[in-house]
Amino acid sequence: MARMAAQNRGKNKKALVETYGCQANVNDSQRLMGMLLEMGYTLTSEREEADVILFNTCAVRDGAEQRVFGNLGALKNIAEKRGTLIGVCGCMAQQSAVAQRIRTRYRFVDLVFGTHAQGKFPILLEEALTTKERVCDISENTEIAEGVPTYYGGGAKAFVSIMYGCDNFCSYCIVPYVRGRERSRREEDILAEICALTQSGVKEIMLLGQNVNSYGNDFGEKDAFSRLLRRVSEVEGLERIRFMSSHPKDLSFTLLETMAQYSNIPHQLHLPLQSGSNKVLKDMNRRYSRERYLEIVEYARSLMPDLALTTDIIVGFPTETEEDFLQTCDMLERIRCDSIFSFIYSPRQGTAAAKMENVSTKEEQAERFKRMLELQNTISLDINRSFVGKVQRVLTEGVSKTDAAMLTGRNEANKIVNFPGSEDLKDKFVDVKITRAQTWVLQGELI
Ligand code: SAH
Ligand code: SF4
Ligand code: F3S
């Protein structure tokens, strides 16, 4: 039990973990917080009162990295004034060039460790605190650390990672380089975690993986994800099971049938398309065609006519011409997503696409991005309007951040629903009648 080494280290001390990345990164932060709590620290959200500040970083786009560097710069004063221990971990830190840059340009950073060293965090922290030397661990290690204490946040929803890493090497993407090869957790370990969560009051689980459809491939099993999903659905007391992300190349129709069959799996699917052009999809190394994607959506909707679909789109991939872009718009019109997550292509050093030549200018990319959002906003609003007058089952998350008089929650489709109500409805399911639709939110009233 290496973790025991540092117990009591955090007595009367406070720690802050700031998260910069995706759901997997959020879940990693929850484990880091769990370990800090086990060491005796209390958690804070104030940089000024923290004894330990940890930045859990994301490397997926340049913007994400710049945000981290900007915020890191702002820590220098606090670190010098209060002697705060500063740590940088996660996907950015796993890249040796970044780790090096932090060592030379941000000398007040005491601890740097990558995604692979996460399980060793208590030992690394102990080392940094006792030796007063700067500690760095970006070694590779693909072993799965089970039994790490996790701070889930205390609400009715929880993330559960079912696998780590990625083997797909989409040509634009840094994730396989910073998270290592794909490895799946054992079904029994996942189920044990979920059972414990439901017993502690959790009602909704989001199963996480870069490509959940290839869950279990490393055990040599086919379609193990559909089976896992069925077993999770049968966990007593679990009311909603969601999952992300699905890769169209690996999605099985059995999975769609499972979704249709189990009442606690919402008819909601996040299925990243990335581009609607077969040429660009090929250059992205996505290994499916627009035709295959349409086939999946068509079958899914034949089983679940109320399916809520979301997707990811990259605009301005190096080989994307205006014609290719129009193909993406055409796909968006055909598949009619509830919402999309769209990004302007950002070259990532070391990936295959970073070596490709750009056929479009930055201005063209920005203009396409804007055009696509306008198109999608019309579709999203149109779909949301069809909810007006309908009653939705909403899991309340708490008071709305933008309006203290309103509660906020999510319906089956995972859309944000705001409605007036009292705070004691937090973490409860309620029925809400939708009275007004906006592009990203539904407004309603309790019935
Ligand atoms: N594993 C997930 C996605 C992880 S990254 C999946 O395959 O769906 C989340 C999203 O970021 C991707 O779907 C993609 O749309 C976007 N993304 C990844 N690399 C990018 C890059 N270099 N530039 C712009 N967007 C990128
Ligand atoms: Fe990146 Fe592709 Fe893996 Fe998703 S599936 S994490 S986009 S390489
Ligand atoms: Fe997630 Fe960013 Fe890493 S998207 S996997 S935190 S590079």
Residue 181 — φ and ψ, nearest 5°?
-70, 155
Residue-level pLDDT at 1? 44
Residue-level pLDDT at 404? 86
Helix (H, G, I), strand (E, B) or coil at 169: coil
Is 307 a pocket residue for ligand 3 (Cβ < 6 Å)? Answer: no
Question: DSSP characters for 52-108?
Answer: EEEEEE--SSHHHHHHHHHHHHTHHHHHHHH--EEEEEETTTTSHHHHHHHHHH-TT
Residue-level pLDDT at 6? 61
Alpha-carbon span 437 to 272, nearest angstrom: 25
Measured from the CA of 341, which atom of ligand 1 is nearest?
A: 15
Is 21 a pocket residue for ligand 3 (Cβ < 6 Å)? Answer: yes
CA-proximal residue: ligand 1, atom 18 (nearest)? 173
Residue-level pLDDT at 287? 98
Q: Edge-to-edge strand order for the sheet containing 204-208? A: 157-161, 204-208, 240-244
Residue-level pLDDT at 17? 98
Alpha-carbon span 103 to 75, nearest angstrom: 15
Q: Could you list the pLDDT tens digit for every one of the 447 residues in the chain?
A: 455 556 788 999 999 999 999 999 999 999 999 999 999 999 999 999 999 999 999 999 999 999 999 999 999 999 999 999 999 999 999 999 999 999 999 999 999 999 999 999 999 999 999 998 999 999 999 899 999 999 999 999 999 999 999 999 999 999 999 999 999 999 999 999 999 999 999 999 999 999 999 999 999 988 999 999 999 999 999 999 999 999 999 999 999 999 999 999 999 999 999 999 999 999 999 999 999 999 999 999 999 999 999 999 999 999 999 999 999 999 999 999 999 999 999 999 999 999 999 999 999 999 999 999 999 999 999 999 999 999 999 999 999 988 888 999 999 999 999 999 999 999 999 999 999 999 999 999 999
CA-proximal residue: ligand 3, atom 4 (nearest)? 22
Is 210 a pocket residue for ligand 2 (Cβ < 6 Å)? Answer: yes
In single-letter form, the type of residue at position 22 comes to C
Residue-level pLDDT at 252? 96
Residue-level pLDDT at 9? 86
Is 348 a pocket residue for ligand 3 (Cβ < 6 Å)? Answer: no
Measured from the CA of 91, which atom of ligand 3 is nearest?
A: 3
CA-proximal residue: ligand 3, atom 1 (nearest)? 22
* 434 HSE (CA, 13 A, CB side): 23
Helix (H, G, I), strand (E, B) or coil at 331: helix
Cα 167 to middle of ligand 2, angstroms: 8
Residue-level pLDDT at 177? 97
* 131 HSE (CA, 13 A, CB side): 12
Q: How far apart are the first and last CA of the chain?
A: 52
* 209 HSE (CA, 13 A, CB side): 27
371, containing H or E segment: helix 362-385
